[in-house]
Amino acid sequence: MRIGIVNNALGNVESVRSAFAFYNYDVFLAETPDMLDAADVAVLAGVGTFRAGVMALRERGFWERLDRWVCSEGRPLLGICLGMQLFARRGHEGGRFEGFGWISGDVLPLEGQRIPHMGWTEVSSCAPDGDTLLQGVRYGHFYFMHGFHFVPEDSSVVVAKAFFEGKSFVAAVKKGSLVGVQFHPEKSQGDGLRVLRNLMEAWR
Catalytic residue of the set 141, 146, 149, 186: 186
Query: Of 81, 117, 146, 149, which is the active-site residue?
Result: 81
92 noted as active-site residue: no
Active site annotation includes 141: no
Q: Catalytic residue among 117, 141, 146, 184, which?
A: 184
Cα separation, 15 vs 36, whole angstroms: 19
| Number of neighbours of residue 73 by Cβ within 10 angstroms | 12
Give the C-alpha separation, 81 to 182, whole Å. 4
CA 129 to chain centre: 22
Q: Which amino acid is at 46?
A: G
Strands across the sheet containing 105-109: 97-98, 90-91, 105-109, 148-152
Q: Is 159 exposed, middle or buried (0-12, 13-18, 19+ CB in 10 A)?
A: buried
Bridge partners (DSSP) of residue 124 are 161
Cα(76)–Cα(42) distance, integer angstroms: 6
Looking at this protein, which amino acid is placed at residue 36? L
Sign of CA dihedral 146, 21, 201, 195: negative
Active site residue 126: no
Task: Indicate which residues carry an active-site annotation.
Answer: 81, 184, 186
